[in-house]
Structure 1
């Protein structure tokens, strides 16, 4: 027999053995894999698939039509826990040795296509770390995971959607899950991640829902497009549904951009650090109905709220660009709400932090440039120091060129007066703390006349209007008319109520005769 013939026969036998071995091992793996996945006693889920394709030469494994469902020990239909289906799972560089020797699935790359997960509520609080991570702590490790075209739905106890996300894409690199990581706050370790989805819907309690369009998140940055916080109730329905005074918010943000950030845990303490957060075209409307009973609980000032945070927060700068803010306050169901608006709103907030793990405590500042009531330039500079136990702060403002008719939507509902004329310049310095305030108020005006109304806000109090216009000068003769102002804080009210009462007192002291300022 020639050498060539021997080589051909040997090669043929070898190929035949490889084919037999491939089929044999493939069959063995197809039988072994389900037992590995189910071998953990604490594994709470059944995992199944329609077909399994194994390429031993390349170390690749493809699972088709995989399904995930909770183990049913009762024999009755279940709507409890996580249910899922996945079109395809492709595993690249599969380690046969780890499966044979250690009953572990170790791979280089996992590709998950079109997963759809539905999470039903459980009788006990759902715990991802305990339910999904711990059962796999000795089973799977991989360098990279790619997930494409995913859909996730979280239902509440009535089977209504609480959270839903569409067209999810995830990339995770250098994933590690083992007996040491599962003990940490972050049970899955990774070197980097990238998350994308087309839209998110979230039911944020009984009164609001949140929607977004495209979201892009990574381990260092975040972009959220068209964020919206929308009330579930109309204003009147909201006012009738609350036992005590409470604000209703309607907020839209065209774009939220965090260009650089870092977060994690140090000794079980969460830290969140970012040099900058950008909010573009915020549109916020705040509605406060005064018809329900007053909420007399003490309201914390911002310095106290930041001082009492139990995690390490550090944001160097927050930028609001080209935004619109509106506050509405309604005194009764039969009266229109007072409206205060701030358009072309641009602001920079510097040094937002919690004192935890800090050695330096810089002053927190807010600088605002906007149009008051869509027409009058307003600039505000607000400062406070977070560690200051007295919660002292200073707000300085300058308002220009106010046609008095533009403030009637505020003055009539809240002060029972309307005006005619021009307020050319208003300056104020408001020094406050958790107890009281003092400062200065100055105004320059001309051709000013007032019209005062009776308590119901409908009929003019002609006598008081006549007396007021008779005794008060209708202009300041080109000079600033100044007054020292002091107002005690109502601790059941917000800092903005505190500021408004300070400004209201300044207006009364400078515009109205003393005989008319003794009572609102």
Structure 2
């Protein structure tokens, strides 16, 4: 009995000593931990909290109602740097010996609950290596978890730059030390999971990006309700432009990257993905002709890809059930001409940059849609990025074109409407950065034209219309009429303008008599030469 009593007393004393040691060490660590940060001269922030619960025996502590602010925040007139309020920071299984011996924090898991962080720009540029310098001797392992966070990046004068709500983030197997700080990505990790309920980003003075649910891992991205939204209306945008420029408005219901690999190889960024899918995209492109022409040379798509400075490799880009609309307006007195491509499905294969590649496969675009909501259109487009002549081939086929659908384009731009049946159009266009040639074929019946006054589109020019209908060949007698044509490229225009000029020349040579077609072609050439000058 006496032996049992001694053992029991010994155990009680040991437990008592452990409890005392726990409270003692907890108290000591609670004083030691903040002093590590406070005495770190390279750490630019003050950290405070209302309560700190430490349990040395279980190896955990919880910091409640923590606040972070730049050390010099009271000395500057405008707010600079990061300001944050955090409901709680929980740390599990921290290494006491590392803390006591080396002032290093080594833990298994960190949970940051409901952080509210606002970041303001500062005079000194953000430098990841400099900002993480205080942690060059600190190693954090395990995982970092952020729950229900909100992040804002603000310009003191211009408002929001970036905003994300209800952020959940999990970073696994993290390491930061003097070695990782010298890398392009200064934090070493195994994997991450990120999601937020909404996203706002101010791209520049003309556009904002918004998104609904966004979810991402180290190899996947999924975005719902993506929007690129203009900040100005069309009149404001046009008045702000010294030269002609397109205004974009783009909405995508879903963007999905199911598998991706990215990172750095010898300081070169690489982005690889076997597939990217965009669903129900509604893209509107608007151009007003009031500003001066932009005469700078425009790159074709092959040159754009060839000019990329990083390693891009996308095997397949899918565009599903989308709508693309182009609007062009001569002035605000008349409505814009509108060209639409609805129920648009496209597969773009082999989108590669030449970085770290000796050979490249041909890039192909296979698309089908409804032109002007009614006319089936199929297009095949191919080019090779490494071809410095930027040669390409575009093949197209339209059938059963309704005149009433084309008139909203031809009337405001050319003061012309048509009636009759345009049964089929085929074309094969082989072009490069200088010139394009190819074949154009059309079949139509009972074609008539009406010509309107350019200053009053409600007023028909009866005499000119009568003469025009005498000149126009009203049908092809049930056969395809084919011509071989060539056009020079206006290098200050896009590839789509190049294609349009080819189609326009094809229509001129198939619809008008040869003498009239030659006169029309020469007038078009002179008009283009004047624009170049």
Match of 1:448 in 2: 447
Displacement after TM superposition at 1:76 (Å): 5.5
Change (3 A) 1:207 1:28: same
Q: Which runs of 5+ in 1 are unaligned?
A: none
Q: Does the 8 A contact of 1:81 with 1:126 survive in 2?
A: no
TM-superposed deviation, 1:75: 4.3
Aligned position for 2:498:
498
How big is the shift at 1:10? 1.4
Aligned partners of 2:200 and 2:211 also within 8 Å: yes
Whole-Å Cα distance in 2 between the matches of residues 136 and 399 of structure 1?
Answer: 64
What SS is found at the alignment partner of 2:381?
strand
Deviation (angstroms), 1:282: 0.4
1:511 equivalenced with 2:511 (yes/no): yes
Within-5 A mapping of 1:285-364:
285-364=284-363
CA distance in structure 2 between the partners assigned to 1:261 and 1:505 by the alignment: 44
Mapped contact 2:79–2:156 kept (Cα < 8 A) = no
TM-score by length of 2: 0.95
- Mean Cα deviation higher: 478-487 or 170-179: 478-487
Name the counterpart of 1:98.
98
User: What is the SS of the residue equivalent to 1:105?
Assistant: coil
What TM-score do the two structures reach when normalised by structure 1? 0.97
Q: Which residue of 1 aligns with 2:407?
A: 408
Asked if structure 2 preserves the Cα contact closer than 8 Å seen for 1:72 and 1:78, the reply is no
| Distance (Å, rounded) in 2 between the aligned partners of 1:25 and 1:479 | 96
Task: Please report the RMSD computed on the Cα atoms of aligned residues, expressed in angstroms.
Answer: 1.5
Residues 221, 258 of structure 2: 8 Å contact kept: yes
* Matched position secondary structure for 1:371: strand
Q: Verify the 8 A CA contact 1:211 1:229 in the aligned structure 2.
A: yes
Cα deviation code 1:363-418 (max 9, x no counterpart): 00000010000001000000001000100101000001001111011112222211
Secondary structure of the corresponding residue to residue 141 of structure 2: strand
Contact 2:390 2:433 in 1 (8 A): yes
The reply to whether residue 138 of structure 1 matches residue 137 of structure 2 is yes
2:173 partner SS: strand
Give deviations 1:78-134, integer Å, cap 9, x for gaps.
Answer: 611000111111111111010011110100111110011000111122334422x22
TM-superposed deviation, 1:202: 0.9
1:470 alignment partner in structure 2: 470
In the TM superposition, residue 135 of structure 1 has moved relative to its aligned partner by: 1.9
Unaligned runs of 5+ in 2: 525-533
The CA distance in 1 between the partners of 2:503 and 2:411, in whole Å, is 15
Structure 1: distance between partners of 2:75 and 2:195: 39
CA contact (8 A) 1:382 1:395 kept: yes
Q: Deviations over 1:232-259 (max 9, x none)?
A: 1111111111111000000000000001
Could you tell me how far apart the structure 2 residues matched to 1:159 and 1:365 are?
A: 43
Equivalent residue, structure 2, for 1:376? 375
Q: How does 1:96-245 map to 2 (within 5 A)?
A: 96-131=96-131, 133-158=132-157, 160-245=159-244
Total equivalences in the alignment: 519
- CA offset at residue 137 of structure 1? 2.2
Partner-residue secondary structure (3-state), 1:374 = coil
- How far is the alpha carbon of 1:451 from its aligned partner? 1.4
> Which residue in the other structure is 1:52 paired with?
52
User: How far did residue 40 of structure 1 move?
Assistant: 2.6
Q: 1:360: Cα distance to partner? A: 2.6
Moved more, 137-146 or 309-318: 137-146
- CA separation of 1:430 and 1:75: change in aligned 2, threshold 3 A: closer
What CA distance in whole angstroms lies between the structure 2 residues aligned with 1:386 and 1:129? 36
Partners in 2 of 1:9 and 1:22 — Cα distance?
19
Whole-angstrom distance in 2 between the partners of 1:19 and 1:248: 70
Q: Is the 8 A contact 1:37 1:139 kept in 2?
A: no
Partner of 1:17: 17
Out of 227-236 and 505-514, give the one that drifted further. Answer: 505-514
Distance in 1 (CA, whole Å) between partners of 2:221 and 2:331 is 42
Query: For residues 274-326 of structure 1, what are the alpha-carbon distances to aligned partners after superposition, in whole Å with 9 as ceiling and x for unaligned?
Result: 00000000000000111101111000000001001100000000000000000
